[in-house]
Structure 1
Amino acid sequence: MRNRSLTTTLALAFAVTTLAVFALVGSYVYMMLARETSTQGDQDIVLAARHLRRLTEELQSIDDVTGHQARLESQVLGNTSLSAEVTDLSGHVLFEHNFSTAARLMWPHTSLAAAERITSDAIKAMTARDGVPYRRVATEAKLVDGTNVRIVVMRDMSDRSLLLQRYKNRLLQAGAAGALLAFLMSYLVVRSSLRPLRAIARSAANFTVEHLGSRIKVRRVPREFETLVSSLNGMFARFEHGFNRLSGYTTDLAHDMRTPLANLRGATEVVLARPRSSEDYQAALASNLEECDRLSRMIENVLFLARAEHPHFSRHLVTFQVDAELLRIAEYFEGIAEDAGVRIRVTGHGEIKADVELFRRAVSNLLANAVRYTPRDGEITLSVEALPDAVRVAVANEGVPLDPALLERVFDRFYRADPSRTGGTSVSGSTGLGLAIVRTIMELHGGSVHAESEPWGTRFVLTFAVLR
């Protein structure tokens, strides 16, 4: 099912809101008008009833009621909606004006006493048998001779009902027209307001693998969309960086794996070119084994980096003495260092909370790198420095310093330092991933690693934040 248009949805919402406002306001005005018309009609009834009772009470007897009909009729003569009737208590009509027979059959037997005050509270609503609505009041009046008569004053509310009905119909028509107009205007306004969003979508469609440098460029973007544009451009920049990094990473990986494979193939072809002695075959197999070890280390390092980038990479954090671990690592590298003709020294004291295995791997990579580039009779220092908010672990080696411009690049995957540093004794072939692994391990611990170049050599510093 196709999704609804945002423009249509918002326009309908505005139209429904407008209709609801029309309904609320119209209902309020309608009720106020109905109340006002009812109040005015009640005032006419009350005034007419009061005047009729006052005039009736001035008459001597029932015969005078009949004789003064014109005078009584004058109290309601100017209003065609008013009706009046005077009867004796037995129901015999003494005077009537504009009275409906259908209405007479409906008026009640109860009425106000002659001494009671006539107010709007005494007015009752009724509907005649012919369906005509009335409002009426009934009261008694005492003649001069002491005879009581009943006075009934009614008002035909048909004109007011018709007025209210016409007003109600016009309110409904105006509400429907207003809602339709609100929908059309809202549709146009929303469509116009969303024009920059459509332009953003068209511009974003230009971002493809072939155009990674494409960015969203829309003129006169509303402030509400500025954050969206900035976020999308930032996302595109990260995509471009990640894609280029992955592309370069893949190229470097293929290049570095091709070298040992080429060495394996070349050595094997040379040996198979003609019959060889057993010593030659052993030498070839030993060379091939070294290349296989190099490939194995490279694959292992690549798999570690891939696993470490997973959000749920498992770490086992424990608190341990850094200097004790450094002594263990130095002891492990003792034989390799002796073969390379270098010394390893451990200084300082400190305590951190980290994954011991990952810590050992990071320091071992740095130490192996230091042994590789330290000249004979040189010294490598493993030091610990405890700061108030961090613990710094440094691996420093004597030798040819790094170019300051390359201090950050050495942590890139498959990057190797300048050739001038290859003059040291190599422990084993480098895969170009050791320092990249060190940086990844430090990122997993929320720390950092950086290199410092001095005239006497190079220092790599691991900074672990102190966990409270």
Structure 2
Amino acid sequence: MRARSLTATLAFAFAGTTLAVFALVGTFVYLALEHQVKAQDDLDIVLAARHTRRLAEELDTLADVRVYSERLTSQVLGNEALSVEVVDPEGHLLLEHNAPSTAGSVAPPAKRAAASQQITEALMADSISADGLPIRSIAVDAVLQDGAVVTIIVSRNMHDRWLLLDHYRDRLRAAGIAGMLIAFLMSYLLVRQSLKPLRDIARSAGNVTVDKLNTRIKADNVPQELGSLVTALNTMLGGLDSGFQRLSQYTADLAHDMRTPLGNLRGATEVALARPRSSEEYQALLASNLEECDRLSRMIENVLFLARAEHPQFARNTREFDVEAELKRIAEYFEGIAEDAGVHIRVIGNGRLKADVELFRRAVSNLLANAVRYTPRDGEITLQVTESASGLRVTVANQGTPIDQALLERIFDRFYRVDPSRTSGAPSSGSTGLGLAIVRTIMELHGGTVHAESGAAGTRFILTFART
């Protein structure tokens, strides 16, 4: 289905609105004119009837009606549309002037003014002549000097009024249609011109490609109503550019880090196959290859976790738990590794937290494993819990060579590693460069933050959970 044109839709809307306004205004003007014309004609008929009755009441007998006919018809002379008739009580026609061809009778309307009754527009009656012409008339009684009663009928042929109103109505219709067409054409042109900035925005957005994600839509001369749209689009493009750059860097780092264990596997295997080896040498080779496989497995597992954690529907099973008990459980789990590294783990403080226990354990375990790796022998690692009104803080502190202040934020990037000289001799293969990135992701899932502080006394990683 072809999409509708916004320009045409708005133009039709404006044209329809114009036609509706013309129709309403035209109808009002037409009805006002009709009412005014009708009121003026009724007034003419009433005045003619009043003067004719006054003249008739000055006559002596019925015979004088014919004798002084010119006096009685003087009120309608000069107006071909007005007519007058005078009939006696038996309905015989005594006088007529410009009388229309009625439908076979000159009998006065049943509704007429008595001799003593005031003549008003309320006594008007409508009828149709034998020729099909509209007639508007009024009938009044007049008493002659001898007591005889005659009926005076003053009529007006409304045909010319009908023609006038019909012509006026036709002109209003023509003006309304012409106005609608003009409004449509002008609206189309104006809307099309007004939407030109939107077409420019679409053209600029079309220039954004995979290799041009740094392109931005120009906000110059953009209407105020479209300013927020341009800002939102540029923000979206900035996010896409940043995300694409991170993805490219992430892919490159992943390939680089996976190449190292694979190279180790391949190199060690090629050396072993270069000449016959003893069973002990083959066992050592298999043990070394197994370590590299474990490293690859951990790396893949961490990558999958980060990919799942970034999905909007990532599920978290939150519950309230004792932080001190969980830290002691984690410290007990690392007790053997810590003894081999010659370091001591101490837990301080207590508090309760509502979070995903499994993710909490993983974040602290990653920090603790990192601390064990970089703490010198006979050093101490402290797991501390502190509560405040704003939230709960878990601190993992260890002794050792401080981290350069310029690197404290970068250490949370994926696949980033600090200079190897900071290690305490623990096997470097245990690190995949994703541990701290996972910690930051877990904290973001909980609406918290993580940051590092490093100095002469050692390094501290601080997890801050907001109070819920």
TM-score bracket, shorter-length normalisation: over 0.9
Which residue matches 1:370?
371
CA contact (8 A) 2:102 2:128 kept: no
Report the TM-score when normalising by structure 2. Answer: 0.97
Report the TM-score when normalising by structure 1. Answer: 0.97
Say yes or no: does 1:135 pair with 2:136.
yes
5 Å matches for 1:150-229?
Answer: 150-229=151-230
Fraction of identical pairs, as percent: 66
Which residue matches 2:20?
20
- In the aligned structure 1, how far is the partner of 2:265 from the partner of 2:42? 114
CA contact (8 A) 1:373 1:426 kept: no
> Which string of whole-angstrom CA distances, capped at 9 and with x for unpartnered residues, describes residues 83-142 of structure 1?
110001221111111001236648634422222221111112222232211211112222
Unmatched tracts of structure 1, length 5 or more:
none
Deviates more, 1:157-166 or 1:21-30: 157-166
Q: Per the alignment, in what secondary structure is the counterpart of residue 101 of structure 1?
A: coil
Q: Per the alignment, in what secondary structure is the counterpart of residue 296 of structure 2?
A: helix
Which residue matches 1:388?
389
Q: Cα 1:283–1:30, aligned 2, differ >3 Å: closer, same or farther?
A: same
Which residue matches 2:263?
262
> Which string of whole-angstrom CA distances, capped at 9 and with x for unpartnered residues, describes residues 425-465 of structure 1?
34752101101111111111111111111222111110101
Amino acid at match of 2:43: Q
Which residue matches 1:45?
45
Which residue matches 2:30?
30
Q: Per the alignment, in what secondary structure is the counterpart of residue 210 of structure 1?
A: helix
- In the aligned structure 2, how far is the partner of 1:185 from the partner of 1:10? 11
- In the aligned structure 1, how far is the partner of 2:175 from the partner of 2:104? 40
Aligned-residue Cα RMSD (Å) equals: 1.4
Deviates more, 1:160-169 or 1:236-245: 160-169
Q: Per the alignment, in what secondary structure is the counterpart of residue 153 of structure 2?
A: strand
Deviates more, 1:36-45 or 1:165-174: 165-174
Which residue matches 2:91?
91
- In the aligned structure 2, how far is the partner of 1:307 from the partner of 1:24? 63
> Which string of whole-angstrom CA distances, capped at 9 and with x for unpartnered residues, describes residues 37-78 of structure 1?
000000001111111112112222111111111110111113
CA contact (8 A) 1:341 1:376 kept: yes
Which residue matches 1:67?
67
CA contact (8 A) 1:401 1:458 kept: yes
Amino acid at match of 2:80: T
Q: Per the alignment, in what secondary structure is the counterpart of residue 102 of structure 1?
A: coil
Q: Per the alignment, in what secondary structure is the counterpart of residue 430 of structure 2?
A: coil
5 Å matches for 1:69-468?
Answer: 69-102=69-102, 105=105, 108-426=109-427, 428-467=429-468
Amino acid at match of 1:43: L
CA contact (8 A) 1:371 1:427 kept: no
Q: Per the alignment, in what secondary structure is the counterpart of residue 4 of structure 1?
A: coil
CA contact (8 A) 1:253 1:414 kept: yes
CA contact (8 A) 1:199 1:218 kept: no
- In the aligned structure 2, how far is the partner of 1:23 from the partner of 1:424? 92
CA contact (8 A) 2:111 2:123 kept: no
Report the CA distance between 1:422 and its aligned residue. 2.7
Report the CA distance between 1:223 and its aligned residue. 0.5
- In the aligned structure 2, how far is the partner of 1:166 from the partner of 1:446? 76
> Which string of whole-angstrom CA distances, capped at 9 and with x for unpartnered residues, describes residues 243-291 of structure 1?
1111111111111111111111111111111111110010000001001
CA contact (8 A) 2:219 2:227 kept: no
- In the aligned structure 2, how far is the partner of 1:302 from the partner of 1:367? 20
> Which string of whole-angstrom CA distances, capped at 9 and with x for unpartnered residues, describes residues 325-355 of structure 1?
1111111111110100011111111111001
Q: How many residue pairs get matched?
A: 467
CA contact (8 A) 1:340 1:427 kept: no
Amino acid at match of 1:148: V
Deviates more, 1:175-184 or 1:122-131: 122-131
CA contact (8 A) 1:83 1:98 kept: yes
- In the aligned structure 1, how far is the partner of 2:454 from the partner of 2:145? 129
- In the aligned structure 1, how far is the partner of 2:424 from the partner of 2:345? 19
Report the CA distance between 1:407 and its aligned residue. 1.0
- In the aligned structure 2, how far is the partner of 1:391 from the partner of 1:46? 98
Q: Cα 1:141–1:262, aligned 2, differ >3 Å: closer, same or farther?
A: same
Q: Per the alignment, in what secondary structure is the counterpart of residue 203 of structure 1?
A: helix
Amino acid at match of 1:453: S
- In the aligned structure 2, how far is the partner of 1:169 from the partner of 1:187? 27
> Which string of whole-angstrom CA distances, capped at 9 and with x for unpartnered residues, describes residues 393-412 of structure 1?
01011101111111111111
